[in-house]
Amino acid sequence: MKRALQIVRWWALDYAYAVYWQCRAAFGRQRPDGYLSGGLAPIVVVPGIWETWQFMRPLAEKSHRAGHPVYVLASLGWNARPVAESAATLADFISDNDLRNVLLVTHSKGGLIGKYAMALLDEERRIARMVAVSAPFAGSRYAPWLPLRSLRAFSPLDPTTVLLAKNAAVNSRITSVYAGFDPHIPGGSELPGAQNIRVPTGGHFRILSHPDVASAVLRESSHDGQ
């Protein structure tokens, strides 16, 4: 009973957090170019599905205060396009801005976009590492039953999910951070060969504000070179 009540509480807090940041994203006035100053390695943030870049502001602001220029892909909009298409947008953005030794900081679907770019679109190896938060690397067993095609794409049997699983060479450069209980990814986000960090909390969204996630980002951003 105690565990069940804890899960209900996590669900409630998680969706309250998501609603709060979706509202801030819809009505916020923060400009994406406000994080470009800084002399340390560049960070590019990639949100999850139906999230704008502003959903990543807690991590973007902490990284920027630490001295990193933080870039956002405003062109992704609400990030509803297929993973491969969005990964091409990410790779083009990094190349067009001549960014090197990049740390990707991603959430949920953003982790798939980031891994796709790292594994298949980064011949010059401009992307050094990635911190992926709540990423469905192995898909979600709930996805095949969801009504929208954009959500069914997270099926464990989806061709993109299978393709990314086969491209494991980049996994050693990925840090996967995930909650002990994730209502959207019941199988968890553990990625073979990656550094996996299980945070002692529950939720898919609220974990973005957890201090362990910020610590992982700043730790990975301190790597010199690739």
Provide CB contacts within 8 A for 53, sequence distance 6+.
Answer: 32, 45, 47, 60, 72, 73, 74, 76
Helix (H, G, I), strand (E, B) or coil at 89: helix
Average pLDDT over residues 65-83: 92
Q: Is the pTM of this model over 0.85?
A: yes
Q: Which tens digit of pLDDT belongs to each residue from 190-221?
A: 999 999 999 998 889 999 989 999 999 999 98
Query: Percentage of residues in the chain with pLDDT exceeding 90?
Result: 61
Q: Which tens digit of pLDDT belongs to each residue from 78-137?
A: 899 999 999 999 999 999 999 999 999 999 999 999 999 999 999 999 999 999 999 999
- The two beta strands, 102-107 and 70-72, are unpaired
Q: How confident is the model at residue 23 (pLDDT cuts 50, 70, 90)?
A: confident
CA distances from 200 to 34, 54, 119, 124, 197 (A): 32, 25, 30, 37, 10
Helix (H, G, I), strand (E, B) or coil at 178: strand
Phi, psi of 113, rounded to the nearest 5 degrees: -60, -45
**Nearest CA to 72 among 100, 91, 93?**
93
Q: Which tens digit of pLDDT belongs to each residue from 137-146?
A: 998 886 676 6
Q: Write down the mean pLDDT value for the chain.
A: 88
Query: Percentage of residues in the chain with pLDDT exceeding 70?
Result: 87
Residue 17 has pLDDT above 90, yes or no: no
For residues 144 and 66, give the distance between their C-alpha atoms in angstroms, rounded to a whole number. 41
Q: Which tens digit of pLDDT belongs to each residue from 147-183?
A: 656 667 788 889 999 999 999 999 999 999 999 888 8
Q: How confident is the model at residue 226 (pLDDT cuts 50, 70, 90)?
A: very low
DSSP conformation class of 134:
S
**Token representation of residue 83:** 């993973």
